[in-house]
Structure 1
Amino acid sequence: MSKTALLVIDVQQALVGLHPYREDEFLATIRQLLQAARNSDIEVIYVRHDGGAGDILEANTEGWNVHEAISPKPGERIFDKNVNSAFRSTGLREYLTQKGIDRLILTGMQTDYCIDTTCKVAFEYGYSVIIPKGATTTFDNKFLSGSLLVDYYEQKIWNGRFAEVIPVNEVINKMVSIAE
């Protein structure tokens, strides 16, 4: 039987402070998923990006901290990374293996960087990946809006290839059924 974890990637003070696409709805979605996971005894795992000295995501600075709207509870694991993949040199894969976790519910920032990379690496490692619609976000860039980027990755890149992209309420229903 599959064991599931909810991954919350790079939802950090400095990034949220730059006001990504659908900021308020995104944070509300993450809070909803966190509550459902915790109520269903699904492990919650956070990943933080360390951008290095002088970066807005420099380790041990205010901007590096997980955003206060979705703070970890005592005992919830946090893995730190310094590349787009949540797996590379973080110990995350080893931890998931040790815990017998083979299904990941993937959420966080940024859709087109760390979420996309982590999704594809998780797929390559054989994890079943679920991405709740609207549970990732990013910023406008000189080529595309944040809205178009999220829609493009959810509908064209991930769904049916690397992950199952489904509405949040369906993900929560899956969490509840796992707990029963």
Structure 2
Amino acid sequence: MQATALLIVDVQKRMFQRGSSVYQDAKLLYNLKKLIASAKSESMPIFYIQHETSGNHLQRHSDPWKLHPFLTVEKDDVVIQKTTPDSFYKTSLEEQLHFKGIQHLLLAGIQTEVCIDTTCRSAQSRGFSTSIIGDAHSTWDTPILKASQIIQHHNQTLQWFANTISTDQFVERIR
């Protein structure tokens, strides 16, 4: 089996604000918690990606910018800040993955059609094999599409770049 890491993208307090939280927020957090526990049981490296902007919403060190408190970052986990949808662009992610000998990425988090999509495609172009955890990424409704449609569409479309598995399928593979 290839050396694998779990990437949790942009699961920050801002994405869970009352009245404007991501689609199926409780289910997302529950699935992320299961993924993290399973990864830790196998000593799988976990990378938390944290988006920042210079505006009010995700300004570094602001409360909305912080990782969601449901996530428990431990000393061996890596936290990487980014400023674009691509978790690799102008970050140390690729270097740290190579340093740890990682060849396969499990991708989960927020926002399906932006940061998850972009990071997935970028990982593939950098030579990483990738699995999208199809029930562990989320987004918001748009004027054109419901969040559930966006997630379903991307789970299908990103199969050109990654395998799509469920949280339970990942957990079963670990056992």
Per-residue CA deviation, residues 119-154 of structure 1 (Å, 9 max, x unaligned), is: 000011111101122110000111111110000000
Per-residue CA deviation, residues 36-57 of structure 1 (Å, 9 max, x unaligned), is: 00011101110000011x3211
Q: How many residues align?
A: 173
Q: Secondary structure of the equivalent of 1:70? A: coil
TM-score by length of 2: 0.95
Give distance in 1, aligned partners of 2:77 and 2:117: 23
Residue aligning to 1:13: 13
Give how far 1:28 is off.
Answer: 0.3
Give how far 1:173 is off.
Answer: 2.5
Residue aligning to 1:26: 28
1:49 to 26, 48, 51: 51
Give distance in 1, aligned partners of 2:112 and 2:56: 20
The AA in structure 2 aligned to 1:65 is K
Q: Secondary structure of the equivalent of 1:33? A: helix
Give distance in 2, aligned partners of 1:110 and 1:56: 15
Give distance in 2, aligned partners of 1:63 and 1:36: 27
Give how far 1:15 is off.
Answer: 1.2
Residue aligning to 1:165: 164
Do the aligned residues in 1 keep the contact of 2:87 with 2:115 (CA within 8 Å)?
yes
Give distance in 1, aligned partners of 2:65 and 2:76: 19
Do the aligned residues in 2 keep the contact of 1:42 with 1:175 (CA within 8 Å)?
no
Give how far 1:73 is off.
Answer: 1.7
Give the structure with the higher percent helix. 1
Residue aligning to 1:174: 173
TM-score by length of 1: 0.93
Give distance in 2, aligned partners of 1:75 and 1:164: 27
Pair 1:39-2:41 in alignment: yes
Residue aligning to 2:96: 95
Give distance in 1, aligned partners of 2:173 and 2:5: 12
Residue aligning to 2:3: 3
Give how far 1:3 is off.
Answer: 0.5
Do the aligned residues in 2 keep the contact of 1:10 with 1:110 (CA within 8 Å)?
yes
Give how far 1:75 is off.
Answer: 2.9
The AA in structure 1 aligned to 2:4 is T
Residue aligning to 2:124: 123
Percent of counterpart pairs with the same letter?
29
